[in-house]
Amino acid sequence: MSDPDKQACAEVIQAWGLARDQGRWSDLLATFAPEGEIAVSWFRGPFTDFVERCRQSFAAGTRSKHLIWPAIVRVNHDRAVAESNIAILVRQTIDGVLVDLTSYGRFFDRMERRERWMIVERAAIYEQDRLDPVRPSEAFAAMMKNADVERFPAAYRYMAFRVLAAGRTLASPIYCDGMPETTALYQRYAVWLNDGR
């Protein structure tokens, strides 16, 4: 375990956010191993496919901002597990109403040192979110009255509403605290990290 390794891992995590939000696709691909996997609210699968979906959305004018706080990194030889607090900001038009989504959560990463440190798996764990009109309006109030967002867990309620409104599907399971799937995720990462000895 060394501070330079932790710093290198943290820089990869920050590079991911900047590349993702600025549409720097080759830089984004470089943050992950070629066989890397990612699980977020709207996608679960190979990272290369995720990047292509992001590229398509970016070309269509969709923008988001990923604010990533400093990571807590645990290193074991050539393996590391990192956890970062995040906020995801998305502006989107839903039913003619311009809205801002703010979603809080964590990125939970498995990382490996090959020729350099890279992410081999990322899971987003959702905590809470909100949806606000860019301009307060009766149209927003009417939309939310009919939205039936209560059917979604509070941890990602408005993210789910936004994803479906954008024509995407939800990628189950969506991780949040208190779920058996999230507990199993932490256990699997811990076993993997310890096996790096």
- The model carries a pTM of 0.95
Strand stretches in 27-178, DSSP E: 32-39, 44-46, 64-68, 72-76, 79-94, 97-113, 117-133, 175-176
Find the helix or strand (DSSP H, E) in which 6 lies.
Answer: helix 3-22
Q: What digits encode the pLDDT tens for the residues 65-92?
A: 999 999 999 999 999 999 999 999 999 9
In DSSP terms, 107 is beta-bridged to 84, 124
Q: Please tell me the CATH code under which domain 3-188 is placed.
A: 3.10.450.50
For the chain, the structural domain boundaries read 3-188
Q: What digits encode the pLDDT tens for the residues 135-188?
A: 999 999 999 999 999 999 999 999 999 999 988 999 999 999 999 999 999 999
